[in-house]
Structure 1
C-alpha cells in the first residue's frame, strides 16, 4: 500500500500564518510542529513542492529549502516512489510500550499518571447487599464466561434505554473495558490487519492492538473540538478493516462527538466495510448536565461496544462489558476463553446492584469530578498561565498544551517535586505529541491544587534551561 497523503490545502489550513523572516525557516518550523504534535501523522506523504507552493502562495525555493531542512533534522524522509514522508527523529519523545501502570506511586507522591478516582461513597453498602444474594450462586461451579444473566440483562437494558437496542444474549461481562477491547481485538484482528486508531488515544489500547500484530494507521484528533474531517479522510485513504474509537469524552482530549459527526463516521466506516470497536468507558461522566448523543453503535449495526463501571463507581470492581451483534458473539466467546473464564460472581452482583440503584452515587461522582475539574483549571491559570487548556464537558482529565515540546523534559523535574506525569508521547501511537500532557482531575481538589503548585515550580525549572518555552501570557480556556 502506498503511503497516506495529506492534501496541500489541508497543510495550508493547518499551518496558517507563519514567520516569513526568512520564510523557509518559518515554514520548516511550522511543519515540524505539525509533525511533532501529531496533526501530520508519521508515515503520511506531504504534498509535492509544486502543490505546496501553490497552496501557500510562496516561492518554490521556500518550499524546497524548508523540506531540505526537515530532512536534515529527521522530520522528513524521501522515499523512492513515495515522495516526502513525515517522520520523527529517534528520541525519548517516542514511547515504545505505551503502557500506563496504575498504583506505583509512593505515599509522598501525587500520581497524575492514572485517570481513575477512588471508590464512590456507597460502594460498601452495595457489596453488603450483594453478599445477601451470593448464597443463591454457591451451589454452582462459579464460572460464567458470558456473565451472570442478571448483570447481562441490566447492561442490555441500559444500552437499549440510550438508543442501542440490545438483548442480554448480545452482552458479555469482562474484567473492565480494556479486557473487552482485548477480546474484540483478538477476535477481529491479526498480523497485518489494517486498524484505524486515533492519535492521541488511550495508551493501553495502543499496546493491546500491537499485541495482536495489527498494523496501526493513525488519524489525528482535532485540538479544539471533535472535528472528524481528518478521521473521514484517513478512513477513505486507508480503508481499514478495524477501527478503535472513543467518541464519548475521548481519552485524553475530552472531546464529545456529536450526533451528526457520529452519523458521518458510521456512514464512512460502513462504506469501507470497517468494523468499529467503540470504547464507552467515559459515558457516565458527563459533568455539565448535557444531553448525550446516541451511542455510535446505534448508527453502525456491525460495531462492537465496550464499557465498564470503573469511571462511574470504582475501578476495583474490575467489571466491564462487551456488546456485539448476535452473529459475532460466538467469535467473542472463543476469543475470551483463551484469556480468562469469567468475572468474580460477587463483583458482578455488586455491579448489577449499582446499575439498578446507583443513580444517587453517580450524581455524587459527577459533582465531585466537576469540583475537581474547576479547581484544577483555577490552579493552572494561577501557576501555569502559559499553558493552553481546553475545558472538557466530561471525562476525567485535562489535555494541556505546553508552549514548547517539553513534556518529556518536564516529567523528571515534576517527579523531583513529588508529582508523577503521563506525557504526550505516551498517548501517541507513532510518537510525538511532546507538546502535550494529560492531567487527570480524579483526586480531591486540595490535592490537585497542591500538585499543580508543585508542577508550576517544576515548569519554572524547565524554563530556566529552555527560555523558548515562555510562550503566551495566559492560558486559553475553550468552552
Structure 2
C-alpha cells in the first residue's frame, strides 16, 4: 500500500492551515509538527510538506528557526481580500441587531442624570447605585431575590467574564465548557491558563449525564454555561436540569459562571425557566444590554454573592476604574422599558428567523432546527464541509465562521451558525451568496487562495 498521496498539492494544504490560523484554531506562537511528522500524518511526501511550510512562511503565517521548529505567526500587514475592508461584504460573524427605536429618547432623558454628576469624580467602580438597583429589580422580577450590593456594572458581558476570571481564576486548573460555545469565552479561558473539559450541547439540549459526570470526575475549578437560548445551538436548560447541575457543581466545589446575554431573546418559546441563580446562591451570573438594546451599549453586569463581589472590587482597579457614566445613565432609562424592549426584539428575531428559513428552502441537504429564540440558527450541513464553505463564501462577499470556530478541538464540521438578527432583505441577500458558495464547494470550483481573515464572532 502506498504511503503517500499520488497527487500531492501543497497550495490547498497551506490554504487549510492558514484557515485554521486565521480562524483561531491554531494560535500565534503555537508550534506546528515537523515537516517529517506532518508528511507521515497526512500521507504526503516530505517535499510536499516542505513546500507547504515554504508557502506559509512566504505569506507570514509561520516562522521557522533552525532547531526551534515551525511556529504560527500572523502577517504584519494583512490585506483582506474581498474581506473586512469591503463595505459590500455581509458579516454573518456578527449576531447582533441594530439599536432599539427607544435608544435615542432614552439618551435624551439620561442627560439630566449625567449632568447632575458633574461635581463628582466621575469614577464608578461598582456602578451607579440607580443602575445596580434597576438590574437587581430585573432579577427580582424574574424570580431571584437580589440586592444592589450583589450587582457590579461592567463594560459588557465579555468584560464581566474576564473580570471574574481575573478575580477567581487559577492557572492550570480545569474549566468545564459546552461544546459548542461562545468562541471568545474559550479564548479568555485559554488566556487565563485553564485546561478545558468539553461537554456536548446540541439543538435538542445538553447531555446532562455527561455534564454531571464530567463535574464529578473532573472536579473543575469552574464551569461556563449559556443555559438560555444557548449560543450557538439555541437550546435552553429546564428548571429540573438547572437544579441538578447546580447541586452537582456545589457538591464538588465548582464555580458556576452563567452567561445570560441571550436570556431575554425569546421569540415564541412556550415556557420560561427561572434564572440559574435561583437554584444556588453561589452562581456567578453575567449579562448585558448588547442584545436587547444595541451592541454599541457597552453595558454589562455581574451578579454574585458578597464574598465574590469583594474579590471583584479588589481586582478591578488593576485594569479599569469603572464603566462610562453616560452609558450607565442610558441603561437606567432603558431598563424601565423592558416590556417594550423585549417585544421589539421578539418581532425582529421572528422576521430574521423566517428570512433564514426562506433562504434555506432551496438547499436540499441543509436542515434548520426549530429556533424559538436566541441569536442564530445552528444548521446541519449534511456533510463535513463547514470550513470549506466558510472559505468559499469569501469569494462572494460573505463572512461567516465555520462550525469548528465554536468548538475546543476543531470538530463540528457539519455545523454552521447563521444569525437571525439581520433585516430580512439583508438576510435574503446573504442566503443568495451562501447558495453560490455552496455550489462552489459541491462542484469543487472554489478559487484557490481565497482569504479568510480572522474576525470577532459576536
The bucket for the TM-score relative to the shorter chain is 0.7 to 0.9
Between the aligned partners of 1:338 and 1:394, the Cα distance in structure 2 is: 37
Alignment partners' CA distance in 1, 2:383 and 2:428: 23
Tell me the equivalent position of 2:454.
Answer: none
Shift of residue 166, structure 1, vs aligned partner: 1.0
Aligned to 2:351: 371
Query: Which residue in the other structure is 1:136 paired with?
Result: 116
**Residue in 1 aligned with 2:376?**
397
Q: Which residue of 2 aligns with 1:294?
A: 274
Report how far residue 104 of structure 1 moved.
Answer: 4.0
User: How much has 1:190 moved relative to structure 2?
Assistant: 2.1
- The aligned runs of 1:45-64 (5 Å cut-off) are none
Measure how far apart 1:433 and its partner are.
Answer: 1.4
Corresponding residue SS for 2:426: helix
Distance 1:114 1:186, change over 3 A: same
- Secondary structure class of the residue paired with 1:388: coil
Structure 1 residue 334 displacement after superposition: 2.0
Q: CA offsets, 1:71-104, max 9 Å, x none?
A: x979xxxxxxxxxxxxxxxxx9xxx99xxxxx94
Query: Matches of 1:313 and 1:371 in 2, distance apart?
Result: 17
Q: CA deviation at 1:320?
A: 0.5
Counterpart residue number, 1:469: none
Q: Which structure 1 residue ranges, 4+ long, deviate > 4 Å from structure 2?
A: none
**Structure 1 contact 306–323 (Cα < 8 Å) conserved:** yes
Match of 1:229 among 201, 209, 215: 209
Answer yes or no: is the 8 Å Cα contact 2:155–2:323 preserved in 1.
yes
1:223 Cα shift?
4.1
The answer to whether structure 1 residue 332 and structure 2 residue 312 are counterparts is yes
RMSD, aligned α-carbons? 2.2
Distance in 1, Cα, partners of 2:96 & 2:85:
14
State whether residues 184 and 335 of structure 1, in contact with CA within 8 Å, keep that contact through their aligned partners in structure 2: no
> Which of 385, 393, 404 is residue 406 of structure 1 equivalent to?
385
1:260 counterpart residue number: 240
CA distance in 1, matches of 2:353, 2:85: 22
Residue matched to 2:425:
446
Supply the distance in 2 between the matched residues of 1:259 and 1:106 (Cα, whole angstroms).
Answer: 45
The 2-side partners of 1:327 and 1:423 are apart by 40
Say whether 1:206 aligns with 2:176: no
Change (3 A) 1:120 1:106: farther
User: For residues 195 and 289 of structure 1, do their structure 2 counterparts lie closer, same or farther at Cα, with a shift above 3 Å needed?
Assistant: closer
Over 3 Å counting, the alpha-carbon distance change for 1:361 and 1:299 in structure 2 is closer
By how many angstroms is 1:119 displaced? Answer: 0.7
| 1:9-66 superposed Cα distances (whole Å, 9 cap, x missing partner) | xxxxxxxxxxxxxxxxxxxxxxxxxxxxxxxxxxxxxxxxxxxxxxxxxxxxxxxxxx
Question: In terms of mean alpha carbon deviation, does 231-240 or 357-366 score higher?
Answer: 357-366
Question: 1:289 offset after TM fit, Å?
Answer: 5.2
**Could you tell me how far 1:328 is from its partner in structure 2?**
1.4
Matched, 1:184 2:158: no
Query: 2:99 aligned with 1:119, yes or no?
Result: yes
Structure 1 position 274 matched with structure 2 position 258? no
> Would the alpha carbon gap of residues 165 and 358 (structure 1) be closer, same or farther in structure 2, given more than 3 Å must change?
closer
Name structure 1 gaps, 5 residues minimum: 1-71, 75-91, 98-102, 467-479
- 2:398 alignment counterpart: 419
Q: TM-score, normalised by structure 1?
A: 0.74
Aligned counterpart, 1:86: none
SS in structure 1 opposite 2:101? Answer: coil
Q: Secondary structure at the match of 1:267?
A: helix
Q: Using a 3 Å threshold, how does the CA distance of structure 1 residues 425 and 289 change in structure 2: closer, same or farther?
A: closer
In 1, the alpha carbon distance for the partners of 2:41 and 2:431 equals 34
Equivalent pairs counted in the alignment come to 372
Q: CA deviation at 1:425?
A: 1.4
Q: Distance in 1 between matches of 2:165 and 2:315?
A: 9
